[in-house]
Amino acid sequence: MVSNLPKITIVTPSFNQGKYLEDTIISVLSQGYPNLEYIIIDGGSVDDSVSIIRKYEKQLAYWVSEKDDGLYHGLQKGFAKSTGEIMAWINADDMYHTKSLFLVAGIFEKFRQIHWIMGANTFFDESGHPFTFDDLAYAQRWSRSRLLLCDGQFIQQESVFWRRSLWHQAGGYIHQNQSLAADFELWIRFFRYQRLYTTSFMLGGFRFRTENQKSFNQRKEYLQQVAALKAEEKMGLDKGLHLSFCRLLIVLTKLIPKKKWRERLQARVLDLPPKIIFDRQAGLILGKR
């Protein structure tokens, strides 16, 4: 029954993404999740986006098409309309994997100590075919220390979900002064209050496009904003001494010849939380470090 499932709010900000928008909408609505609050904020598109949204408006909690100040302004407008216990956003060219919302609800219901999660890093090509990249050890496990030390690898926004209580604890807003890296700024604030737990399950994926993709075309500017945000946060974290010590220990662990021991020690140094995995007998469990 709906009453037994937590309400999940999904917000999709969009502007002239008619080529991909329907795939995104279908990936949300086809979940079949009965307690879904789906909100679409369109920035006044002049392509066929509005006609696509109208096809599904009876299944939407709210939608609007009007000029706004960009992606993060649209997100803020959407979350201001939201009431779900669990929150997330999916951009208008990205997609969720089948039944992922049921899995998210199950994780939050079973592990009450967990306040935000990230699924396995997955991606789609331009045609919508899913794929993965080979990852380095612990590439999909995160801590505050790893976020501030890491270069080039980031938390995958498309598969992140959080409790509304954490949203309010962290201020309840999307930063409007970060034109490209407001997602990274939000993760920094979340880490001040709660650990991020990751799972080997696929939740959502990022779509690679060959044209007009900000994350690719403006990657240099994005990395500059990320660097500035990390530098600011490091200043308030024991004046950076803790991170310097972690960096030194990571370097020293490379002297350990056995890979398994080396990776376990690195995970301990970075204070990475256990991963949510599937066990044949017990179902969802927190794996060993």
Asked whether residue 130 carries a pLDDT value surpassing 60, the answer given is yes
Asked whether residue 287 carries a pLDDT value surpassing 60, the answer given is yes
The total of other beta-carbon atoms located within 10 Å of residue 81's CB is 15
Average pLDDT, rounded, for the chain: 90
**What pLDDT, on a 0 to 100 scale, did the predictor assign at position 138?**
63
Alpha helices, DSSP H, located in 43-157: 49-55, 71-80, 100-110, 144-149
Total number of domains in the chain: 1
CA dist 96 → 103, 151, 180, 237, 253 (Å): 12, 26, 22, 35, 37
Indicate the Cα dihedral angle 18, 25, 164, 270, nearest 10°: -80
Determine the structural domain holding residue 196 and report its residue range.
2-286
**What pLDDT, on a 0 to 100 scale, did the predictor assign at position 197?**
97
pLDDT mean over 226-248: 79
Asked whether residue 13 carries a pLDDT value surpassing 60, the answer given is yes
- 135-144 pLDDT per residue, tens: 655 667 899 8
Q: How far apart are CA 221 and CA 177, in angstroms?
A: 14
- The mean-pLDDT minimum among 6-20, 154-168, 233-247 falls in 233-247
Please state, for a pLDDT cut of 90, what percent of the chain lies above it: 66
- The mean-pLDDT minimum among 19-33, 124-138, 171-185 falls in 124-138
pLDDT mean over 98-119: 97
CATH number at residue 138: 3.90.550.10
Asked whether residue 227 carries a pLDDT value surpassing 80, the answer given is yes
Torsion sign, CA atoms 240, 244, 245, 250? positive
**What pLDDT, on a 0 to 100 scale, did the predictor assign at position 1?**
44
Indicate the Cα dihedral angle 60, 66, 71, 74, nearest 10°: -60
- The mean-pLDDT minimum among 91-95, 158-162, 202-206, 251-255 falls in 251-255
Asked whether residue 2 carries a pLDDT value surpassing 60, the answer given is no
Supply the DSSP string of 178-206, one letter for each residue. Answer: -SS-HHHHHHHHHHTT-PPEEBSS--EEE
3-state secondary structure of 38: strand
